[in-house]
Amino acid sequence: MTGAQYWTEKNQIAKRRTLDNNTDQTVLDIINQIKQSGDAAIRQLTKELDDVLLPKFQVTKEEFKDAYKQVSPAFLRALTKAKNNIQQFHAKQMQQSWFTNSHSGILLGQKITPLEKVGIYVPGGKAAYPSTVLMNVIPAKIAGVESIHIATPPQANGKVNPHILVAAKEAGVDSIYKIGGAQAIAAFAYGTETVPKVQKITGPGNAFVASAKKCVYGDVAIDMIAGPSEICIVADESAPAPYIAADLLSQAEHDEAAKPICITADRTLAAAIQLEVEKQTELLSRKHIIKQALKQNGRIILVKHLNEAFTIVNDLAPEHVQLMIKEPMENLRYVNNAGAIFIGNYSPEALGDYLAGPNHTLPTNGTAAFSSPLGVYDFVKKSSIIHYDKTALLETADEIIELAMTEKLTAHAESINLRKDGRNAKSYN
Amino acid sequence: MTGAQYWTEKNQIAKRRTLDNNTDQTVLDIINQIKQSGDAAIRQLTKELDDVLLPKFQVTKEEFKDAYKQVSPAFLRALTKAKNNIQQFHAKQMQQSWFTNSHSGILLGQKITPLEKVGIYVPGGKAAYPSTVLMNVIPAKIAGVESIHIATPPQANGKVNPHILVAAKEAGVDSIYKIGGAQAIAAFAYGTETVPKVQKITGPGNAFVASAKKCVYGDVAIDMIAGPSEICIVADESAPAPYIAADLLSQAEHDEAAKPICITADRTLAAAIQLEVEKQTELLSRKHIIKQALKQNGRIILVKHLNEAFTIVNDLAPEHVQLMIKEPMENLRYVNNAGAIFIGNYSPEALGDYLAGPNHTLPTNGTAAFSSPLGVYDFVKKSSIIHYDKTALLETADEIIELAMTEKLTAHAESINLRKDGRNAKSYN
C-alpha cells in the first residue's frame, strides 16, 4: 500500500484499547474490598482469582535462599551484566537540587527529594519477567527511595518464580508480596495490615491492573497506564530482511494486540520481509500469539519516499522505533514521538528490552507523543524554594498588590501591605 | 493542642476531598456528548451550564484589541514584571538531550522533544486569574511547545475577562476558546470541529474539571488533579504574629476547603496569631469563605519542640510551607514533602503566587509527597536512544539470549541469534 492509502486505514491501526465498563466495575469492587477488609480481602481474592490460599503474602528469607539454588550461573551472569548496564545509564539521569542568587536578597531554587516508599507490580502467572524487576527497581534505588516493594501474583504452588526473586534480591528490593491484579494495586495505594501504603506504583500488568492504576491515580502516583505496545521499523535496502522480520516477530510475540509495523520505500525489501516473517513465525514457540498480532495489526507500509515514513512514525508515536537505514543518525532529528529509538542493523528491540541500559518501561499505545520512558526522575519530586529579604519584597510590593487586587484576592494583597506599612492598609468590605 | 494531640485528629485535617459518583457520572455524560457531537454539544452545554449562547467559541482579534483598552497601565506593568521573573526562573529548568559514548561502538542517550499541542484550562466566572495564564503558558512556551490553547468559561455577557486576554496575549497563547468545565477538558482531549485535540491538558478547575481530567487521563496527559490547597507555617518567636495571620488568611480566602495551618512551640505566639486572625478577617472582602475555611481546617498546632513540626509538615505534605523561624535555611533539610518552601518573614505565599518566578501550580491535597510543581519538564517528553554496532552486540549476545529464554520469549532470542550466526538458530516448537 502507498503512503496515501495508509492514511485511510490509520485509524484502524492506531485504534486504542480503552478500558471497558465491566473491567472498571470489577476493579472498583476489588478496591473497595481491600480498603474495607485489608489482608482478609486479599486472602479471599487470591483464593478466588489465583486459586491459592495463602496464610502469609510476604516472601520469606528461606524462599529467597531457595530461589538462588534454582537459577543457573548463566542466568546470574546475564542478570548482573544487565544490572550494571542499567545502573550506569540511569545514574546519568540523577538530577541535583539547585538554586540561584542572581539578585541580592533573593534566593530561588528547586529541591529534589526522593520518594519515600514505592510499590512495583511484576506480572506473573505462566511467564516470569526478571527484566521488569531490574527496570523498575534500579531507577528507584538510584533516586534514593527508602523502601521498595514488589507485588506479583503467586504461582499455582503458592510460590514466586525464582528468577523474579533473585532479580529482586540483586536489585535491592525490601519486600515481595504474593498478590496479583487489582488487589495488589489497591493494597499498595491504601495499605493493609501487612502491605505498606506507598507513594507511587509502577510496573506493567493486564487490563485489571491498568484499570486499577487509573482508579487509584491521584491518591497515589502511578507511572503510566500500559497498553498494547508497538514497533515501527523504518528500513531501506541496506537492512537485511531476516533481521527486520525477526524484530517484528519479537514485538508480535508479546501480545495479540501488539503492533509490528515496518515502513519502507523499497518494494523488493517489503516482499522479502513478508516471506521472512512467514518462514520465521513457524519456528517460534509463541506462533499462535504472533499470528494473531500479525493478522490484527501487522503492517508493511510502502511509501514513495522515505521522508513520508517519519510522518507516519510521529503520527503513531510508537513505543519502539528502529532506524534500519543507511544514515540513521542523520535522520534522528525527524523522530519526534517514540519511546525508544534503536539505531542501525545491530540494535534490535531485544537489546533494549534486556541489556543496553535504557529503561524498557516505555510509553505504549501512542502515548509516546506525550510521555517518557521510566527513569530516575519518576522516583523523585521537586519543591520550589523562595526567599526574598525585606528590601527585595518591598521593591516589588506594589506589583504583587496590583495583581492580587486584579484577582480580587484582598487577603493576598493585605499580606503584602502589612509588610510594607507595618499595619493593615484598609478595610476591603 | 500538643503535637501528640494533633495526631489523633490528623485524619480529620488531612481528609481528602474525593470525587463523588454523581460528579463522575455527569462528567462522563458530558465527555460522551462532546465525543459524539463536538461543537454542537459544546454550544448546547454552554447554553445550559453558563447560560450563554455562543455562535463561535474562539476569541477574535477584535476582542483581544478591546481587552488592551480595558486594563490599566499599572496592571500591564505588574504583569510584565511577573512574566519576566517567571521566564527567568523557568528558563533554568530547560533540559538538554544527551548521549554517552563511553564504550566503543555503543551510543546511548535521551532525546528531549517538546510536546506539539497543549491545552490550558483557566477558571473564570466571577473572578479572573491572569496569574494562572502566565504560570501555565510560560513553561510550555520555554519548552518549545508549537501551539498553546486556552479554554475558559465565558462571562454572562459572552466575553472573556480582559485581564485574562491580555495575560494570554503577552504570554504568547495561540488561541482562546470560551468553553468551561468538563466540556472544555473533553474538547481538548478528543478535539472538535473548532477546538484542537491536544497532547496535554494543564490548569486548575472545580470538581467537574478535576473529574474530567481524571477521566481523559491516559488518552491525553494531564498535569495533576487539583484539590483543596494547604499552607503550613512553621513559626517561632522571631516571626511577627500579624504576618503569620495575614498569610494564613491569604490561604483561607481561596476556598472553603483550604487548610491554613500554623505550627509553633511558642504558646504566646499562638495566642497572638489567634487574635490577629480574628481581627484581620473582619477587614477582608472574602470573610465568609475565610471563616468557613478556618472553622473546618484552620489550626494552630502547639508542639513541644520545633523539630516535631517537621514531622507534621512531612506528614501533611502541604502545597505551601513557610519557614518563619530564626534559622530557616538551616532547617530546609528537614522539609521533604512540600510543593513550595517560603523562607523567612518577607517571603509570604502571595509573593510566590504572583511574582517571584517559581510556578504557583503546585501539588495540592497532600500530593506533594509524590508530585512536583508545574515546570518546563511537564511540556517535553523523552525518547531513549540506543545504538550498538555489530561487535558490541555480538559481545553481549549470549547474555541477551539467556535472559530472553528465561522469559520464554523465543522470538526475542531469535532476533539476536540471527545476527550472531546469520541464520535461524533452531526451531523452538
* Residue B108 contacts A where some CB pair is shorter than 8 Å: yes
pLDDT at B124: 86
Residue A406 and residue B72 in contact, taking contact as beta carbons nearer than 8 Å: no
Check pLDDT > 50 for residue B232: yes
Show residues of chain B in contact with A108, CB under 8 Å: 89, 356-358
Pairing mode of beta strands A117-121, A147-151: parallel
Beta partners for residue A148, in sequence order: A118
Of all residues in chain B, the percent with pLDDT exceeding 70 is 93
- Dihedral (Cα; A352, A354, A356, A358), 10-degree rounding: 70
Phi, psi dihedrals of residue A283, rounded to the nearest 5°: -85, -10
Low-confidence ranges of chain A (pLDDT < 70): 1-21, 423-429
Q: What is the three-state SS of chain B?
A: CCHHHHHHCHHHHHCCCCCCHHHHHHHHHHHHHHHHHHHHHHHHHHHHHHCCCCCCCECCHHHHHHHHHHCCHHHHHHHHHHHHHHHHHHHCCCCCCEEEEEECCEEEEEEEEECCEEEEECCCCCCCCHHHHHHHHHHHHHHCCCEEEEECCCCCCCCCCHHHHHHHHHHCCCEEECCCHHHHHHHHHHCCCCCCCCCEEECCCCHHHHHHHHHHECCEEECCCCCCCEEEEEECCCCCHHHHHHHHHHHHCCCCCCEEEEEECCHHHHHHHHHHHHHHHCCCCCHHHHHHHHHHHCEEEECCCHHHHHHHHHHHCCCEEEEECCCHHHHHHHCCCCCEEEECCCCCHHHHHHCCCCCCCCCCCCHHHCCCCCCHHHHEEEEEEEEECHHHHHHHHHHHHHHHHHCCCHHHHHHHHHHHHCCCCCCCC
- Check CB contact under 8 Å for A348 and B283: no
Cα gap B89→B84, rounded to integer Å: 9
CB-CB: which of B100, B389, B410 is closest to A344? B389
Q: Please identify every residue of B annotated as catalytic.
A: 319-320
Interhelix angle A130-143/A73-91, rounded to 10 degrees, is 40
* Distance separating alpha carbons of residues A237 and A325, to the nearest angstrom: 7
Q: What is the mean pLDDT of residues B211-216?
A: 92
Residues B221 and B218: their CA atoms lie apart, in Å, by: 6
The torsion of the CA quartet B33, B165, B378, A24, rounded to 10 degrees, works out to -20
Query: Tell me, what's the pLDDT at A14?
Result: 39
Q: Do A346 and B371 touch (CB under 8 A)?
A: no
Query: Residue B13 — very low, low, confident or very high, per pLDDT cuts 50/70/90?
Result: very low
Spell out the residues 6+ positions from residue B216 whose beta carbon is closer than 8 angstroms to its own. Answer: B31, B185, B186, B189, B190, B201, B222
CB contacts of A414 in chain B (<8 Å) are: 246, 249-250, 280, 283-284
DSSP A55: S
Confidence of residue B259 (pLDDT cuts 50, 70, 90): very high
Same fold, B21-224 and B227-370: yes
- Under an 8 A CB cutoff, do A250 and B409 touch? yes
The residue whose grid cell reads 514533602 is: B337
Contact of B133 with B82, CB cutoff 8 Å = no
Residue listed under C-alpha cell 483561607: B252
- Sign of the torsion formed by the C-alpha atoms of A118, A123, A125 and A127: negative
Is there a catalytic annotation at residue A399? no
Which residue in this structure is represented by grid cell 539578585? A103
Contact list in B for residue A370 (CB cut-off 8 A) is 115, 199-200, 220-221, 381
Domain boundaries, chain A: 21-224, 227-370, 389-421
Task: Tell me if B407 and A218 make a contact (CB, 8 A cut-off).
Answer: no
Determine the number of helices (DSSP H) and then strands (DSSP E) in chain A.
17, 13
pLDDT given for residue B426 in this prediction: 62
How far does Cα A59 stand from its chain's mean position? 25
pLDDT value of residue B16: 40
Looking at the complex, does the CB of residue A400 fall below 8 Å from at least one CB of chain B?
Answer: yes
Query: A125 CB near a chain B CB, below 8 Å?
Result: no
Question: Hey, are the CB atoms on B355 and A400 less than 8 Å from each other?
Answer: yes
Return d(Cα B193, Cα B299) in angstroms, integer.
49
Scanning B302-331 for CB atoms below 8 A from A yields 328-329
The sheet carrying B221-222 orders its strands as B175-177, B147-151, B117-121, B200-202, B221-222
pLDDT of A3 reads 41
A74 to chain B, any CB pair closer than 8 A? The answer is yes
B21, B231, B286, B382: best to mutate for the A interface, most A CBs within 10 A: B382
CB of B411 less than 8 A from some CB of A: yes
Fold category of A21-224 in CATH:
Rossmann fold (3.40.50)
Q: Which of A90, A149, A320, A360 is catalytic?
A: A320
A106-114 and A98-103 beta bridge pairing: antiparallel
DSSP assignments along A58-114, one per residue: BPPHHHHHHHHHHS-HHHHHHHHHHHHHHHHHHHTT----EEEEEETTEEEEEEEEE
Res. B6 pLDDT band, cuts 50 70 90: very low
Single out the residue of A347, A401, A342 nearest to residue A373, CA to CA.
A342
The count of residues in chain A is 429
Is A383 an 8 Å CB contact of chain B?
A: yes
What's the N-to-C CA distance of chain B in angstroms?
72
Note whether B385 contacts A284, CB cutoff 8 Å.
Answer: no
CB B214 to CB A219 under 8 A? no
Q: Taking a C-beta distance cutoff of 8 angstroms, is the pair A332, A307 a contact?
A: no
Report the C-alpha gap between B429 and B426 in whole angstroms.
9
Spatial separation of the C-alpha atoms in residues B221 and A367, rounded to whole Å: 8
Q: Is B131 near chain A, with CB under 8 Å?
A: yes
| pLDDT score, position A183 | 97
Measured from the Cβ of residue A70, the count of other Cβ atoms closer than 10 Å reads: 13
Per-residue pLDDT band for B102 (boundaries 50, 70, 90) equals confident
Q: Is the Cβ–Cβ distance between B299 and B262 less than 8 Å?
A: yes
Is some CB atom of chain B closer than 8 A to the CB atom of A220? Answer: yes
Provide the grid cell at A353: 528490552
Nearest-by-CA chain B residue for A127? B407
Residue range B126-172, pLDDT digits in tens:
778 999 999 999 999 999 999 999 999 999 999 999 999 999 999 99
pLDDT in the model for residue B24? 81
Distances (CA, A) of A17 to A227, A358, A374: 7, 26, 21
Partner residue facing A415 (CB), from B116, B246, B290: B246
Q: Which residues of A touch B329 (CB under 8 A)?
A: 387
Which residue reads 492514511 in cell numbers?
A7
**Cβ pair B353, A412 in contact under 8 A:** yes
Looking at domain B227-370, its CATH class is alpha beta
Q: Is A415 helix (H, G, I), strand (E, B) or coil?
A: helix
Q: What is the helix, strand, coil percentage profile of chain A, to 5?
A: 50, 15, 35
pLDDT of residue A28: 92
Alpha carbon distance A429, A410 (integer Å): 10
pLDDT at A315: 95
Element (H, E) at A245: helix A241-252
